[in-house]
């Protein structure tokens, strides 16, 4: 039979998270600490805005870039929240989640064999979408620096073919984030080498110990930064599939071309709901953030009690835990824990092949579930 699937796609590995969670499907009574999505339902005021827009008959396409009123709301939100200035006319594109924004960014900027730096462990899509866009992902292992990219580490990996870096903070899967001073140090090197910083700040609103600093608020970075954010995590809107990307007009316009021919526009219902999220969503974000923080403290306490090591997270809803002490790899531990105690966690190697000794725990589940899951984990380790 003729082979229809391209070599490029055949060579891409399916997401390790999906592979593992196919095992979970069909099992009963499993407590999942695996998924990377809020356990909260989208706040009612936001859902209501989506429903009301349908009742009013808003069922059409929108402008390719997204409803102007949404772009204006995004622009105003960024100005008031971070003193960031992006024009609603030509510096903002509404995308199908941050996922689409990342893909568009790479497709718009990469020439074949251009290199993209990816501090790792890393969110599962960065490497594969870089390859699909014709680039070469270059992974920077951050184990020796407590999962943080440092200026020295960054310098080591830059060469003539390096075009961009994907920064992500607060970070999936480790939860670490960067303070302004740390970002300033990284900025110097990024600017010296004229790299584009693709800054995935989807967890920005879920920063616990200090103020989140968007990379493009640092002096001199605006022409060198794409700022990505979305509604999935902070507003518990994963299923609405909506996010946005802000940056220099030339890149936004290049991305809009691809978006125009592939997606056309984000569903209008999601755009209408997102407008409401920016107007009336803040108290709900604060409430959810408070609850994540309470759960994080609890998870860390339980981890200390069972003597497993971790680097203290500063945001998002994940902890990346070393299981080396147990004598099991992350994959072995995750599989046995699932079979014996029906608790699902993600093996660390889903986020890069070096992270065999880790698991990712997501605390985007109820406090009661966390309690029961840790009782079972403790039982398992005994």
| Structure-token match 């003597």, residue found | 307
Q: Which of 36, 66, 175, 204 binds ligand PLP (CB under 6 A)?
A: 36
Smallest gap from Cβ 291 to ligand PLP, in A, equals: 19
Site for ligand PLP in 86-125 (CB under 6 A): 97-99, 123
Query: For ligand PLP, which stretch binds (CB under 6 A), given 15-23, 189-197, 230-238, 278-286?
Result: 230-238
Tell me which residue of 151, 159, 98, 108 sits closest to 133, measured CA to CA.
108
DSSP string of 97-166?
Answer: HHHHHHHHHHHHHPPTT-EEEEEES--TTHHHHHHHTT-EEEEEE-GGGTT---HHHHHHH--TTEEEEE
Smallest gap from Cβ 272 to ligand PLP, in A, equals: 17
Smallest gap from Cβ 54 to ligand PLP, in A, equals: 22
Smallest gap from Cβ 239 to ligand PLP, in A, equals: 9
Q: Which is nearer to ligand PLP, 329 or 362 (CB)?
A: 362
Residue 172 interacts with ligand PLP (CB under 6 A): yes or no: yes
Helix or strand holding residue 189 (H, E) = helix 180-192
Helix axes 282-305, 367-381, angle to 10 degrees: 20
Smallest gap from Cβ 277 to ligand PLP, in A, equals: 13
Binding pattern for the stretch 182-201 against ligand PLP, x by CB under 6 A and - elsewhere: ------------------x-
Tell me which residue of 39, 31, 17, 16 sits closest to 380, measured CA to CA.
31
Smallest gap from Cβ 109 to ligand PLP, in A, equals: 18
Terminal CA-to-CA distance of the chain, rounded, Å?
53
What are the beta bridge partners of residue 100? none
Q: Which is nearer to ligand PLP, 326 or 359 (CB)?
A: 359
Using CA atoms, how far apart are residues 209 and 40, in angstroms rounded to an integer? 22
Q: Which is nearer to ligand PLP, 308 or 346 (CB)?
A: 346
Smallest gap from Cβ 102 to ligand PLP, in A, equals: 7
Q: Which of 67, 118, 202, 337 binds ligand PLP (CB under 6 A)?
A: 202
Q: Which is nearer to ligand PLP, 187 or 233 (CB)?
A: 233
Site for ligand PLP in 54-93 (CB under 6 A): none
Q: Which is nearer to ligand PLP, 200 or 357 (CB)?
A: 200
Q: Which is nearer to ligand PLP, 237 or 321 (CB)?
A: 237
* Number of CB atoms found within 10 A of residue 325's CB: 12
Smallest gap from Cβ 240 to ligand PLP, in A, equals: 9
Residue of minimal Cβ distance to ligand PLP: 97
Q: Which of 64, 145, 193, 238 binds ligand PLP (CB under 6 A)?
A: 238
Smallest gap from Cβ 318 to ligand PLP, in A, equals: 9
Q: Which is nearer to ligand PLP, 109 or 202 (CB)?
A: 202
Which sign does the torsion angle of CA 252, 255, 260, 265 carry?
negative
Phi then psi dihedrals of residue 83, to 5 deg: 55, 35
Residue 207 DSSP SS3: strand
Tell me which residue of 278, 242, 250 sits closest to 101, measured CA to CA.
242
Residue 310 interacts with ligand PLP (CB under 6 A): yes or no: no
Tell me which residue of 244, 265, 230, 281 sits closest to 49, measured CA to CA.
281
Q: Which is nearer to ligand PLP, 272 or 350 (CB)?
A: 350
What is the total count of residues that contact ligand PLP (CB under 6 A)?
Answer: 13
Residue 168 interacts with ligand PLP (CB under 6 A): yes or no: yes
| Structure-token match 């589940």, residue found | 365
Q: Which is nearer to ligand PLP, 207 or 326 (CB)?
A: 207
Residue 218, CA distances (Å) to 114, 134, 250 in order: 26, 30, 20
Which strands, in side-by-side order, build the sheet including 196-200? 92-95, 243-246, 225-230, 196-200, 162-168, 115-120, 136-141
| Binding interface with ligand PLP (CB under 6 A) | 36, 97-99, 123, 168, 172, 200, 202, 230, 232, 238, 243
């Amino acid at each position: 039979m003729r082979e229809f699937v391209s070599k490029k796609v055949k060579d891409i590995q399916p997401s390790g998270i999906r592979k593992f969670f196919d095992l979970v499907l069909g099992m009963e009574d499993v407590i999942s600490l695996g998924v990377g999505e809020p356990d909260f339902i989208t706040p009612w005021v936001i859902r209501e805005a989506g429903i009301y827009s349908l009742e009013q008959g808003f069922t059409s396409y929108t402008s390719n870039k997204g409803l102007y009123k949404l772009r204006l709301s995004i622009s105003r939100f960024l100005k008031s929240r971070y003193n960031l200035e992006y024009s609603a006319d030509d510096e903002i594109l509404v995308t199908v989640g941050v996922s689409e924004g990342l893909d568009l960014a790479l497709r718009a900027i990469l020439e074949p064999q251009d290199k993209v730096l990816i501090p790792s462990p890393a969110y599962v899509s960065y490497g594969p979408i870089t390859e699909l866009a014709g680039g070469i992902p270059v992974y920077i292992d951050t184990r020796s620096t407590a999962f943080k990219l440092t200026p020295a580490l960054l310098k080591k990996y830059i060469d003539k073919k390096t075009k961009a870096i994907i920064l992500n903070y607060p970070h999936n899967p480790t939860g670490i984030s960067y303070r302004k001073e740390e970002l300033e140090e990284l900025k110097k090197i990024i600017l010296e080498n004229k790299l584009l910083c693709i800054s995935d700040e989807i967890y920005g609103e879920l920063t616990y110990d200090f103020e989140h600093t968007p990379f493009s608020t640092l002096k001199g970075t605006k022409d060198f930064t794409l700022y990505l954010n979305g509604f999935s995590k902070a507003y518990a809107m994963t299923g609405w599939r909506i996010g946005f990307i802000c940056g220099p007009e030339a890149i936004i316009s290049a991305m809009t071309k691809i978006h125009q021919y592939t997606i056309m526009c984000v569903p209008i219902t999601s755009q209408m709901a997102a407008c409401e999220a920016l107007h009336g969503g803040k108290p709900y974000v604060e409430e959810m953030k408070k609850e994540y923080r309470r759960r994080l403290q609890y998870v860390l306490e339980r981890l200390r009690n069972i003597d497993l090591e971790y680097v203290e997270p500063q945001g998002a809803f994940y902890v990346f835990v070393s299981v080396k002490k147990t004598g099991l790899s992350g994959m072995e531990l995750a599989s046995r824990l699932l079979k014996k105690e029906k608790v699902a966690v993600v093996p660390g190697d889903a986020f890069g092949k070096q992270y065999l000794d880790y698991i990712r725990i997501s605390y985007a589940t109820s406090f009661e579930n966390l309690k029961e899951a840790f009782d079972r984990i403790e039982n398992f380790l005994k």
